Structure 1
Amino acid sequence: MAQKNKKAVKQTKSNAPYIRGFWILFFGSFGVLILIFLLASWGVFGSLPTFDELENPESNLATEILSSDGKTLGKFYNENRTPVKYNDLPQNLVDAVVATEDRRFYDHSGIDLRGTMRAVAYMGSKGGASTVTQQLAKLLFSDTPSNTLERLVQKVKEWIIATRLERQYTKEEIITMYLNKQDFLFQAVGIRSASKIYFDKEPIELRPEESAVIAAMLKNPRQFNPHREISKDNALERRNTVLALMAETGKITNVERDSLMAMPMKINFSPEGHADGIATYFREYLRAFMADWIKNNPKGKDADGNQEFYNIYRDGLVITTTIDSRMQRYAEQSVTEHMENLQREFDRQNERNKTAPFRDITQEEEEKILYRAMRTSDRWRKMAANGISEAKIKASFDIKTDMRVFAWKNGVSEIDTILTPKDSIRYYKRFLRAGLMSLTPQTGEVKAWVGGINYKHFQYDHVKTGKRQVGSTFKPFLYATAIDQLHLSPCDTIPNIPYCIPAGEMGAQRDWCPDNSGGQYGGMVTLKSALAQSINTVSARLMHRVGPQTVIDLIEKLGIDTENIPAVPSIALGTADISLFEMVSAYSAFANKGVHVEPQIVSTIVDKNGTVLYQSIPEAKDVLSKESAYVTVNLMEGVTQYGSGARLRSGPINSDVYKKVITGHPYRFKNPIAGKTGTTQNQSDGWFMGMVPNLVSGVWVGGDDRSVHFSSITYGQGATMALPIWGSFMKKCYEDEDLKISQGAFERPENLSIRIDCSESEASSHQSDILDELDF
């Protein structure tokens, strides 16, 4: 026995170095690990991410653009992130994330030791060990590790941050910040953007199977993305895995799991890029509006005393606009429907046009148009900036290249083709463009704004930026001036015979003798009929009586920029270039009893804390008397009763021409509508301005260049080019009863002294008086 004890003692002594070495290694490793944690926390391996973003989770946020009815129109952002609070998350989403990413989330303090030991023991083959808190910590690092050592150091930092997060925030706050920080691709940063982009709904509205799709993307948003064709199958499989895990953890029953897994994966992809969604032209104008507002409304001063300004790309402002999302959609739909039909007919007529899409120009003029377009293109600017010679730049426009171009094909579409850049310019020149704007005359609130047919491919805004000849839509300004100054009545009759303003009078350089369209002369016409039929000779007579400067003074009060409008008689026929924005704004005063209200596009601007930074205050001024405004409206009602706008009231339309360019059923409006069509020389521009008591809307249609136009007035008039868009828009608005668009009469002023009931006896009795007064 003694011998055995001696051997045991001897063996123990011989193993002592190993045992001692083991404990030294154990405690040494533990000490090194603690040292590494301490060094990392002291910043030896680089600074840890700050808590600024967590202490103020609403920093670096997208600015949201809201419609007047509370819908998101779009956002301004560098990072498309709009955070939500925990109460905005559906429980099924929280359950899906916990079941999939960290089922012991509510039990650990940032680091899951069991999971870590399992990951080490099985080398990660049975899952990783990162908790939701660690993943949130990882999201705070902007740089990706370039090697294993850096990743190990970052991992240590993640553990430190995770434990700090757990001490500072509740579990609900952590999972909310985690979902707000995630990038789900396609500009969907954060759960709210992801919910809106992939399902077009708020997070709280997500159903369990939709929440499972979102949770599935957390593993790898590219590999399990439901929108990418290449990853749809993976996304469906991963979604079902999430549902299975939810059943495993008791968040749903097995019956619910089987039912949900059997459902197809449906998404409603609604991108929120700057060129996506609705009101794209309006949003771009709003960007410029905000730049001016920011310049004049500083945020305050920073710690160094420097002036700070708001930033729409990161300050999380909320801009509530006057746009109504429903009316905006109806406007865009109406433009798309009509322009696709109109373009089809335009292309058909150009099949035998050797200079298509241009008309009435020489080859030299055509080359100048193309050269001018080349000079203003992005390609030219970029090449010139790199010092490339003009000769080489021009040569590059003749090299064929693959490109994706705009096309009309059951609505807006794109096609892949091979063209030279020069041919692509010609290709885009053939498309007719359009603009529509609508506002409430009593408040000046802009309700719809369509600046073109497709913002991605045609970024020039034909509401505010574009100015084109307005044609006969200018005549109501002339008539309003005459009514205001001369107290004319719609029933007054005027001879419809040729009329000239002699050279030297009113700025006319030579005798100005306008012709009537179609050469229609003879007899006496009432003022109301003269406007309805757009008789030019009557306009000439009125202009001779009131003078062009008086008319210009009126339109300036109505909000039109008159700097480049000469005081000459020809403006009576609409030779002036005016924007659609100005025209709608000016017409609104007629519907608003002679009071002009400056157009409003923004109601409020609120910062991320809910503080109101801007509240719109309408600017109104009296321009015309109530009587003059009402009589002018009465004149324009004649346009839609028996003039060029009568198509708005027609029953079945027999005209083959009109059938080719309208969609749906005839409008058959029965309510009072005041309006005016406009057509410019050579059919380059088609206009229609239409009003009901609480809505004024204008439409313009034309080519990018004035040489792009229809060959005849049959299709090239405002009644065919523009009026159908107005009619379709208003029909859609009327069908939506929630919009409460007026169908009643314009309010008649009390004690109206000007006759508007044009019975035969009244007209004949007043005829001699008006002829004497106007010295006709």
Structure 2
Amino acid sequence: MLNKIKKHPKLKWGLLIILSLLALAILFFSSIYFGAWGKLPSSLELKDLKQNRATQVLAANGDLIGKFYVFDRQPVKYEAFPEHLVNALIATEDARFFEHEGIDKRSLLRVFFKSILLQDDSSGGGSTITLQLAKNIYGRKDYGSLGIVVNKFQEAIIASRLEDIYSKKEIIRLYFNTVPFSDNTFGIESAAMKFFNKHTSQLNLEEAAVLVGMLKASHYYNPRIFPERSRLRRDVVLTQMKKYGYITEAKLKKTIQKELELDYKSYSHDKGLAPYFREQVRKDVSKVLDTLKNKDGKKYNIYRDGLIVHTTLNYKLQVLAEEALKEHMANLQKQHEASYGKAAPWLTNKNLVLDALKKTSAWKNLAKEDLKETEILKKLNTKHNTELFDYDGVTTKNVSTRDSVAHYLKFLNAGMLAVKPQNGAVQAWVGGIDFRYFKYDHVSQSKRQVGSTFKPFVYTAALESGIEVCDYFSPREVTYANGWTPSNSGGVKEEDEHINYNLKEALSKSMNTIAVKVLMETGINKVIRQAQSMGITSKLPAVPSIALGTASLSVTELTEAYTPFVNKGLTSKAYYITRIEDGAGNILAEFEPEISKKPSLTETNRKLMIEMMKATVNEGTATRLRTTYGLRNDIAGKTGTTQNNKDGWFVGITPNLLAVTWVGADDHRIGFRNTAIGQGANSALPIFGKLMQKMNKDPEFNEFTRARFAPVSREIKEMMDCDPTKRDGFFKRLFGGGKDNKAEKEEKKEKKGFFKRLFGGGKKNKN
């Protein structure tokens, strides 16, 4: 044989070439195996695979609200995979999966020789599920012209080690938990939740086929963007399943005829359910995690460690709250814009727009370049395609940055918080009209004047200090020492000047003049202490105007301060996180309701206040709940409107649900054009009204909608048994005699009058 080789040089050179190529291949493979092209994971490392996992935020019933992640991944166990899901994967991606040991050697050699000798980058083929798993976990690196070969060999080595460590079922589990799907989604559970709003275990045959079909090219076969392509690819998967005997011909025909139906749920940070709530949860959980360490002594990472955050949020109630707020705000926005017409401040007030423009990042970045204001304005007046929010849908328009700022200035915003008053458990949290475009949370971050929603604290303090419901106060205007003269909406008719109102009637009609007189009679400091004892933590100004809600509070703070009215006088702090767990279900932190130990008002006065606020709904400023929205639920409440119609408020109280809504412009210099639109009964109350309407239609909310306040006792009835109004007697009308409250006495001191100054009447002072 050797002699033949010596006699035939071509054969000799051919053999040398083959041996050289073989030696080169062995050397090349060895260089990869021993890490010359990058260290490969050892068997020990592969036994403890760790992947970035999304942290889940769950509602009270366990439904997924949203996630925090770098990669949207949610691992699940093999038992969660329906049989048809596994069969679809094997039939489409690796028909011999249970027969081979993770590597198709013939295909691998084909890739090697075609890629090196023929420079054919499309040689492909032969990629098993195990090889794909290796690629999913460790990715691919750029090694130049040899890249595909080096990566293929690396994956083959890793795949071989994986097959030695894990069973076939475990490899399927790892694969499904790491494989990338469309829309930056990793793992089958995240994909199932995103595209079909159901868990992996609930996927039917056609849904499983859609997701498996997506694996060939996740963007190209994205069912959200390209539904027809996705459907055709689904049918290919189903055909493969028929080919390998996983489904029958009849099943194939029946399933192929079905339309592609998605129930898409975005769990991005800006979209999806309760984005303002999720952002607040993220902030709070991050603070908690800063105090904790895992078993390796490192801090937990909310974006990578696959934690589970359990909250008190009522998933269905949150959905309805967002619907109610958006429906009302879309209609209110039209009223708001129409009322101003061409005289709108966002169109005519250049300084207002300029101030807003200076707050933008675009202005600040240009200012860093030392440009003059005129130069900055010129650049920001340049038009370009911009995505703009509107209730009719997001549109792209050719506008300047200045135009965009003016556009957003016109929008009213809103905040709503609903809690269980007995423990403060948050049921719904809507911080604004759209988190994508308005990041500022009007539940937790914003503080605005609360208007007449502060009056119940004044009346509570009055009752606690001994003033009775059946005490009467005059609605006549009084000018106080600082020259301030509060008035009622619409003023007081001349014929009504001698009509006095009891506390219930004055509160239900939200009479400003009487609220201030009640405050003065009670004492400003007593009212402030009462409000603080009920949960107000912000500084309250010691001035008469506080009775009309000139203090600025957040929606959260006001909500907490109202809980004593339905919680036996105890204040419940708003709480929304119940516990934080690691991915294995181990509890990292738990949280309990925070409820005050001591009642801030007597039980009798609490019941009196509820009856007075029920009158607000039944016959006072909140009667729209009965007339317009047709609500027959047990409801107490209070409307609120601030100076110059800047803010509208409503507090809705039921025995088991307390909701506070606020509506106004983000820029406090822009108010409603008139009281008809801006009053709390028109701007804020409808959100609560619409929410209750929706809840009444669903028996699941009977806990809230059918709850009843305790029957009114004989004692309470007797304490309220008086005429709502009382007319001054003849002599008082003629001479002004009779009992004066402190406010009116102050007024008389200011007006000591003409006769005393003229004749020097009255007691002389000691000097």
Output the TM-score relative to the length of structure 1: 0.87
Aligned counterpart, 1:747: 710
What does the per-residue CA deviation read over 1:567-619, in whole Å, with 9 as the maximum and x for residues that have no partner? 11100011111111111111112111110011101011111221111111222
Counterparts in 2 of 1:756 and 1:379: CA distance versus 1, 3 Å? farther
DSSP 3-state at the match of 1:64 = strand
CA distance in 2, matches of 1:627, 1:55: 67
DSSP 3-state at the match of 2:394 = strand
Counterparts in 2 of 1:399 and 1:74: CA distance versus 1, 3 Å? same
- Which one-letter code corresponds to 1:746 in the other structure? F
CA distance in 1, matches of 2:634, 2:266: 40
CA distance in 1, matches of 2:578, 2:2: 92
Is 1:552–1:562's contact at 8 Å kept on the other side of the alignment?
no
2:619 paired with 1:642: yes
Is 1:281–1:450's contact at 8 Å kept on the other side of the alignment?
yes
2:248 to 247, 253, 257: 253
Aligned counterpart, 1:514: 486
Aligned counterpart, 1:354: 343
CA distance in 2, matches of 1:541, 1:602: 42
DSSP 3-state at the match of 2:186 = coil
1:287 to 268, 282, 289: 282
CA distance in 1, matches of 2:308, 2:519: 49
Is 1:627–1:749's contact at 8 Å kept on the other side of the alignment?
no
- Which one-letter code corresponds to 1:345 in the other structure? Q
DSSP 3-state at the match of 1:741 = helix
- Which one-letter code corresponds to 2:573 in the other structure? E
- Which one-letter code corresponds to 1:543 in the other structure? L
Aligned counterpart, 1:663: none
Q: Identity percentage over the alignment?
A: 35
DSSP 3-state at the match of 1:402 = strand
Is 2:569–2:603's contact at 8 Å kept on the other side of the alignment?
yes
Counterparts in 2 of 1:773 and 1:55: CA distance versus 1, 3 Å? farther
1:369 to 352, 375, 379: 352
Per-residue deviation, 1:25: 5.9
Of 16-25 and 379-388, deviating more is 16-25
1:466 to 421, 427, 446: 446
Per-residue deviation, 1:21: 6.6
Counterparts in 2 of 1:355 and 1:751: CA distance versus 1, 3 Å? closer
Is 2:622–2:685's contact at 8 Å kept on the other side of the alignment?
yes
Per-residue deviation, 1:309: 2.0
Counterparts in 2 of 1:377 and 1:308: CA distance versus 1, 3 Å? same
Of 249-258 and 111-120, deviating more is 111-120
2:292 paired with 1:298: yes
2:388 paired with 1:405: yes
1:211 to 208, 213, 230: 208
CA distance in 1, matches of 2:295, 2:351: 52
- Which one-letter code corresponds to 1:491 in the other structure? C
Is 2:472–2:725's contact at 8 Å kept on the other side of the alignment?
no
Is 1:630–1:748's contact at 8 Å kept on the other side of the alignment?
no
Aligned counterpart, 2:755: none
DSSP 3-state at the match of 2:589 = strand
Counting only pairs closer than 5 Å after superposition, residues 133-212 of structure 1 correspond to structure 2 as 133-212=130-209
Counting only pairs closer than 5 Å after superposition, residues 67-78 of structure 1 correspond to structure 2 as 67-78=59-70
CA distance in 2, matches of 1:10, 1:629: 111
What does the per-residue CA deviation read over 1:64-93, in whole Å, with 9 as the maximum and x for residues that have no partner? 111112111111111111111111112111
Per-residue deviation, 1:717: 0.9
Is 1:498–1:513's contact at 8 Å kept on the other side of the alignment?
yes
* Unaligned ranges ≥5, structure 2: 115-119, 733-737, 745-767
Counterparts in 2 of 1:558 and 1:760: CA distance versus 1, 3 Å? closer
Counterparts in 2 of 1:25 and 1:277: CA distance versus 1, 3 Å? same
Aligned counterpart, 1:83: 75
Counterparts in 2 of 1:13 and 1:445: CA distance versus 1, 3 Å? closer
DSSP 3-state at the match of 1:350 = helix
Counterparts in 2 of 1:414 and 1:762: CA distance versus 1, 3 Å? closer
CA distance in 1, matches of 2:72, 2:399: 35
Aligned counterpart, 2:266: 271
What does the per-residue CA deviation read over 1:419-478, in whole Å, with 9 as the maximum and x for residues that have no partner? 111121111111111111100011111111111111111111111111111111110010
- Which one-letter code corresponds to 2:456 in the other structure? P
- Which one-letter code corresponds to 2:614 in the other structure? E
Counting only pairs closer than 5 Å after superposition, residues 653-692 of structure 1 correspond to structure 2 as 666-692=628-654
2:487 paired with 1:525: no
What does the per-residue CA deviation read over 1:609-649, in whole Å, with 9 as the maximum and x for residues that have no partner? 21111111222112222222222111111100100111111
DSSP 3-state at the match of 1:465 = coil
Per-residue deviation, 1:695: 0.5
2:325 paired with 1:335: yes
Q: How many residues align?
A: 722
Aligned counterpart, 2:758: none
- Which one-letter code corresponds to 1:77 in the other structure? Y
2:473 to 472, 480, 494: 494
1:108 to 86, 100, 118: 100
CA distance in 2, matches of 1:57, 1:391: 58
Is 1:626–1:749's contact at 8 Å kept on the other side of the alignment?
no
Aligned counterpart, 2:763: none
DSSP 3-state at the match of 1:589 = helix
Is 1:489–1:754's contact at 8 Å kept on the other side of the alignment?
no
Counterparts in 2 of 1:239 and 1:401: CA distance versus 1, 3 Å? same
Is 2:104–2:128's contact at 8 Å kept on the other side of the alignment?
yes
1:325 to 292, 315, 319: 315
Aligned counterpart, 2:364: 381
- Which one-letter code corresponds to 1:397 in the other structure? L
Of 545-554 and 379-388, deviating more is 379-388
CA distance in 2, matches of 1:693, 1:601: 20
DSSP 3-state at the match of 1:458 = coil
Aligned counterpart, 2:757: none
CA distance in 2, matches of 1:66, 1:218: 28
CA distance in 2, matches of 1:720, 1:10: 104
2:607 to 630, 651, 654: 630
Aligned counterpart, 1:5: none
Is 1:734–1:741's contact at 8 Å kept on the other side of the alignment?
no
DSSP 3-state at the match of 2:426 = strand
2:394 paired with 1:414: yes
Counterparts in 2 of 1:15 and 1:162: CA distance versus 1, 3 Å? farther
Is 2:500–2:726's contact at 8 Å kept on the other side of the alignment?
no
Counterparts in 2 of 1:524 and 1:421: CA distance versus 1, 3 Å? same
Aligned counterpart, 2:765: none
CA distance in 2, matches of 1:601, 1:10: 85
DSSP 3-state at the match of 1:394 = helix
What does the per-residue CA deviation read over 1:101-151, in whole Å, with 9 as the maximum and x for residues that have no partner? 111111111102354467689989897101110111122334432523132
Is 2:336–2:673's contact at 8 Å kept on the other side of the alignment?
no
Counterparts in 2 of 1:573 and 1:609: CA distance versus 1, 3 Å? same
Task: Please give the root-mean-square deviation of Cα atoms over the aligned residues, in Å.
Answer: 2.9
* Unaligned ranges ≥5, structure 1: 1-8, 504-509, 651-665
Per-residue deviation, 1:494: 2.6
DSSP 3-state at the match of 1:477 = helix
Is 1:594–1:628's contact at 8 Å kept on the other side of the alignment?
no
Counterparts in 2 of 1:761 and 1:731: CA distance versus 1, 3 Å? closer
Per-residue deviation, 1:54: 5.0
DSSP 3-state at the match of 1:154 = helix
Is 1:471–1:573's contact at 8 Å kept on the other side of the alignment?
yes
DSSP 3-state at the match of 1:518 = coil
1:454 to 430, 434, 438: 434
CA distance in 2, matches of 1:640, 1:315: 49
1:444 to 416, 421, 424: 424
